[in-house]
Structure 1
Amino acid sequence: MLWKEAVIRFMREKQNKDQTNEISIFKYLDPYFGHMYVDEIRRMHIDDIIQQRLKEGVSNATINRLLQKLRAVLNKAHKEWEVKCDPPFVKLLKEPKKRVRWLTENEAYRLIQALPAHTADMVVFSLETGLRESNVTLLRWDQINLSERVVFIEGDDILKSEQAFVVPLSEKAVDVLKRQIGKHTERVFTYKGNPVRRANTKMFKSICKEIGLEDFRWHDLRHTWATWHVNRGTPLEVLQELGGWSDYKMVKRYAHFSHQHLHKYVNSTQNQISTNFPTLAKFG
């Protein structure tokens, strides 16, 4: 099977609603693999791509997205399509430790007030659901059940989740959706009648800067949602399900925001110490 044939079949079977990222990655890979069969791809070819991307000043995280897509195509050809090939081991590059930037409620309020209405609605919806940017901007009406107050998020490796999951909607999230009714037949969030494609725009970044939100990007709304949940006592295993994380380690980074649940275990030893060591009882 030619690499080009594998790419076409991969995209046809995945049927992602927005293939912009995939197309960009495969266009970049075409000069390297466009003339090759999948069984001809070796580790040295992949190393060449990595070195070239590093020379171009691309981050490790961006290179890893490319490597993940490359690996996905080769593995699918080998395991599912039974193409005779032996895919090389694709090792991802080390990435910086994930930062957690989040807003206070006051900061969130100031941001919402400063934004135009259509963007403010998307911010409120993100803070209420914890959904990623693409999950919000590409949201369709057929994914929503207002009577049951849920949103169905489809599995998509671009959106970092292979499994579909259900997101329950709060009162505020439902209010946001109701305000969008009638604006477009298919897509939920629009601007001047046209579906929104991006939210982390220059306008959004400019307004963040104007109101003093330094080092803040759209994805940090998801961090904010998760942090608020933990601060209010939501167990991490529940947060994992609400956020659609497949890896518990992704949720653990929010653990340090919660400590109230530990106090009951610390205090459980107090009576025992007071009984066994009466002289300590007077110190409370």
Structure 2
Amino acid sequence: MAQTQEGVYRRPDSRFWWIATTLPNDKRIRQSAGTESRQDAEALLAKIRLEAFREHHFGIKPQRSWQEAVVRHLTIKANLRSYRDVQRICRMLDPYLCSLTLNQINGDVIWSVVQGQLKKGNTPATVNRYLALIRNLLKMARDEWQWIDSMPKIRLLPGEVERDRWLTREEADRLIAAAPEHLAALIRFALAAGCRAREITGLEWNRVDLNRRTAWLNKTKNGTPRGVPLNKDAVAVLQEQIGKHHQFCFTYRGQPIGWDLTNTAWINAIKKAGIEDFRFHDLRHTWASWYRQAGTSCDELKDLGGWKSRNMVDRYAKFATENLVFAASRIESTRDSTVIPLSRFCHVKNAVKMDESSKALK
């Protein structure tokens, strides 16, 4: 029967040739060759046998392609909320890497990726997202899958500018007034609770306790559930949504919101409010900036925002300078100067001593 024979064969339920073989490690291979050409199917079978023989007898690993690695990488990342971004970056890298094996990806290839993306007008931050994915994938291929023994050293580009965009209270009021009702509610809640867009749209009533003024998020960016304390503004927004949907807190025309919030309604609202270069996620930056301006410590802000490290919070430290006001006032021109010119004082004192010593010798 076709299922037990060795070599290439045809199946009545497929237009492709199939291959069957037993490798030196006694592993049996039965799979489609993915081609209607018998010659191509036989070439693939020969390749599989040769690589298996070299690996079994000489420890030489088979050459794995970038495309094979991408398929496995995407399978692993399938449950992440950032899956679409990973998929998009893989497509952008395809022109550079699709025809290469992992062993062929070296410093020159990385350089071509960097130069190609910079010539397209991409910022260092965007290019770094591509480099980070390549580095992460190659590390997994080396350390977890054992597909390769080494990988090139990939450094991220310097000069990446941290985004610093936030609204004043007056700008926020204009944006809320310009937005349609459902979007205005999302904006108000984001500014009051500091949650990300998907955390807000995925918030369910069974995870909200208005009496205790707390919400529990199970769908966060880093995958770690966390509790969110709700101030009076956040509670007021949620109370307005009661009765609109039995499961989700925020809806549009009675249906859960499952799309990106930076859409036509958002674009029209920021134009009407006279605001430029502003994304929905910048509402979270605004929330954090307001808290720091109000004197909230970085440690408190870290817990409020659900960040895992202080590094992500220290970017907002510049908004709180109250603790340095007294220190800054020490050299004000209107104050009595208490500054002691120590370097000059010591120099003059030493000069006097030397002068006295020379007089004594005379």
TM-score (normalised: structure 2): 0.62
Is the aligned partner of 1:53 residue 2:114?
A: no
Residue in structure 2 matching 1:168, options 229, 232, 240: 229
Q: How does 1:198-277 map to 2 (within 5 A)?
A: 198-262=260-324
The separation in 2 between residues aligned to 1:185 and 1:39, in whole angstroms, is 54
Tell me how far apart the structure 2 counterparts of residues 77 and 178 of structure 1 sit (CA, whole Å): 50
Of 204, 209, 217, the match for 1:152: 217
- 2:90 corresponds to 1:29: no
Residue type at the aligned position of 1:152: L
Structure 1 portions without partners, runs of 5+: 268-275, 277-284
1:186–1:85 distance in 2 versus 1, CA, 3 Å: farther
Equivalent residues of 1:6, 1:77 under 8 A apart:
yes
Partner of 1:280: none
Q: Find the partner of 2:104 among 40, 45, 51.
A: 40
Specify the code of the residue in structure 1 equivalent to 2:156: L
AA aligned opposite 1:201: N
The change in CA–CA distance for 1:98 and 1:28 in structure 2 (over 3 A counts) is closer
Contact 2:195-2:284 at 8 Å conserved across structures = yes
CA distance, structure 2, for counterparts of residue 265 and residue 201 of structure 1: 46
Quote the offset at 1:205 in angstroms: 3.1
| 256-265 or 213-222, larger mean C-alpha shift | 256-265
Q: After the TM superposition, which residues 69-218 of structure 1 pair with which residues of structure 2 at under 5 Å, given as runs?
A: 69-137=133-201, 139-141=202-204, 144-146=207-209, 149-152=214-217, 154=219, 156=221, 161=222, 165-177=226-238, 179-180=240-241, 189-192=250-253, 193=255, 195-218=257-280
Report which structure shows greater RCO (CA 8 Å, sep ≥6). Answer: 1
Query: Take 1:153 and 1:29, find their aligned partners in 2: how far apart are those partners?
Result: 32
CA contact (8 A) 1:38 1:85 kept: no
Q: State which of 57, 67, 83 in structure 1 corresponds to 2:131.
A: 67
Q: CA deviation at 1:165?
A: 4.3
Percent identity, please. 35
Root mean square deviation, CA, Å:
3.4
Maintained 8 Å contact 1:153/1:167: no
The 8 Å contact of residues 102 and 221 in structure 1, kept in 2 or not, is answered as yes
Q: Distance in 2 between matches of 1:102 and 1:24?
A: 27
Q: Does 1:5 align with 2:68?
A: yes
Structure 2 SS opposite 1:66: helix
Q: Which amino acid aligns with 1:228?
A: W
Aligned 8 A contact 2:207 2:216 in 1: yes
Letter in 1 for 2:217: F
Q: Distance in 2 between matches of 1:258 and 1:189?
A: 33
Quote the offset at 1:266 in angstroms.
Answer: 8.7
C-alpha separation in 1, matches of 2:97 and 2:205: 38
| Residues in 2 aligned to 1:83 and 1:19: alpha-carbon distance in whole angstroms | 23
Distance of aligned partners of 1:186 and 1:171 in 2 relative to their CA distance in 1, 3 Å threshold: same
Q: Give the AA of the match of 1:3.
A: W
Unaligned runs of 5+ in 2: 1-63, 330-337, 339-362
Alpha-carbon distance, 1:232 to partner:
1.9
What is the rounded CA distance, in whole Å, between the counterparts of 2:232 and 2:163 in structure 1?
30
Q: CA deviation at 1:261?
A: 3.6
Distance in 2 (alpha carbons) for counterparts of 1:34 and 1:114: 46
Structure 1 position 163, deviation (Å): 5.5
Residue equivalent to 2:334: none
Query: Where does residue 279 of structure 1 map in the other structure?
Result: none
Deviations 1:60-111 (A, max 9, x none): 2222122222222222222233333312222112344324332232322221
Distance 1:18 1:98 in 2: 20
* Match of residue 45 from structure 2: none
- 3-state secondary structure, aligned to 1:254: helix
**Aligned-partner Cα distance in 1 for 2:93–2:65:** 13
d(CA) in 2 for partners of 1:80 and 1:194? Answer: 39
Q: Distance in 2 between matches of 1:265 and 1:200?
A: 43
Conservation of the 8 A alpha-carbon contact between 2:206 and 2:247? no
1:16 corresponds to: 80
Aligned length: 267
Native 8 Å contact 1:189 1:196 kept in 2: no
**Structure 2: distance between partners of 1:20 and 1:146:** 32
